[in-house]
Structure 1
Amino acid sequence: MAFPNQLPPPPAQTMGSSNTVFITETRLDLSYLTTPSGIIKAVVIAFNIISFICIVSSAFSSNGRGVYFCIVVFCAFLFTGTMLILYLYHAVEKYHNIKWLKIEMITYIVFVFLYLIAATVAVAFGSAAYSAAGFFAYLTMVLYGIDAFLKARALRDGQLAQGHRTVSKQVHMVTPPAMP
């Protein structure tokens, strides 16, 4: 029997909490190579090697354009290879306090511009080897742009670079006071 002055019971309240789990031991885990970022890193490393070989095998490899191209490719190869190794051995998860996603995103944006310049300069030279290297450099530039976009979206969504977060929700019921 309801009384006219009685308030309806308050709705159930849900409170959530999240728990982030980090495994701090280093271990080799090749499953990273099946993720989009892992595939991009592996393909970028292959394209870096191919474009480097194209420039070095050219008769004009000591040209200033070729030297700049090789410096950009070497720096990108070094950074991407290092990041791939860190992800494969879960060092990124071990040192989770470092802002890995932000570091990668900024570096990849810089590489997009450096590759744009290097590829354009190589293609404009006119040599067949330089044109081939420029083609692979343009492909690499696009892949770095895609990976930078993935990192920006992960940063926006609050994702972790590596590891997993478990979210548990608890429902709290508020019971009305006892009747007099």
Structure 2
Amino acid sequence: MQSFPGQVNTTTTASTQTPPNIRFDPSYILTLSGRVKILEMMANILGFISVLASDISSHSRCGWFNTVSMAGFWTTGILLAFYLFHIIEKFYKIPWLKIEFIYCAIVTACYLLAASLIAALATSSESLGVAAFSGFVGMCLYGVDCWIKFKAIKDGKHAQGQPHSSRPVSATTGPIEY
């Protein structure tokens, strides 16, 4: 017959953090990503207003540019609000950095196309020249944001807050009586 050990090691897992609260925290605006989001929104709204101020704002190219700029404005604004109110941190299981990386890459490509199409029409209206410039600036800003997200994914960083992890806790009990 086999003899049993005199003690038993048990390992349990305990959560190290409590779920974060939804709260307003303006410190995100001071980060590089926060500043880039603010600048992206400014480029979006400037381009949108510039196209609307042109004489040929009903042209299909102008419509495409306005679609890109308003989609970028509202989506970036919602993401900014999510960061300011720590909603990103609250729903930490969602791969926010990957979602933002894909979003920024798509908007960068769309702005390249939209700004190029508007630049071709810029000879007919000065405001379209301003819109094309703001479109190219927006393209660069979204490209920078895409690069920031890529680096964060590569470095294993989290979108906001500390990672929610579990740590093993070992407990040793005395001899077992049979």
Q: TM-score range by the shorter chain?
A: 0.7 to 0.9
* TM-score normalized by the length of structure 1: 0.79
Aligned with 2:134 (options 136, 140, 144): 136
Q: What residue in structure 2 maps to residue 85 of structure 1?
A: 81
Q: Percent identity at matched positions? A: 37
1:72 aligns to 2:68 (yes or no): yes
Q: What are the ranges of 5 or more consecutive residues in structure 1 without an aligned counterpart?
A: 1-18, 168-180
The equivalences for 1:8-157 within 5 A come to 21=17, 23-125=19-121, 126=123, 127-157=125-155
| Aligned amino acid, residue 158 of structure 1 | G
Residue-by-residue CA offset, 1:26-68 (whole Å, 9 max, x unaligned) = 0000000000000000011111111111000111111111111
Measured after TM superposition, the shift of residue 166 of structure 1 is 9.6
Query: Whole-Å Cα distance in 2 between the matches of residues 123 and 52 of structure 1?
Result: 14
1:161 aligns to 2:175 (yes or no): no
Residue-by-residue CA offset, 1:97-152 (whole Å, 9 max, x unaligned) = 00000000001000010000000000111221111101011011001001100101
Q: What residue in structure 2 maps to residue 8 of structure 1?
A: none
Q: What are the ranges of 5 or more consecutive residues in structure 2 without an aligned counterpart?
A: 1-14, 166-178
Residue-by-residue CA offset, 1:9-28 (whole Å, 9 max, x unaligned) = xxxxxxxxxx8756421000
SS class of match (1:164) = coil
Describe the shift of the 1:124–1:31 C-alpha distance in structure 2 as closer, same or farther (beyond 3 A).
same
RMSD over aligned Cα atoms:
1.7
Count of aligned pairs: 149
* TM-score normalized by the length of structure 2: 0.80
Describe the shift of the 1:152–1:115 C-alpha distance in structure 2 as closer, same or farther (beyond 3 A).
same
Describe the shift of the 1:24–1:145 C-alpha distance in structure 2 as closer, same or farther (beyond 3 A).
same
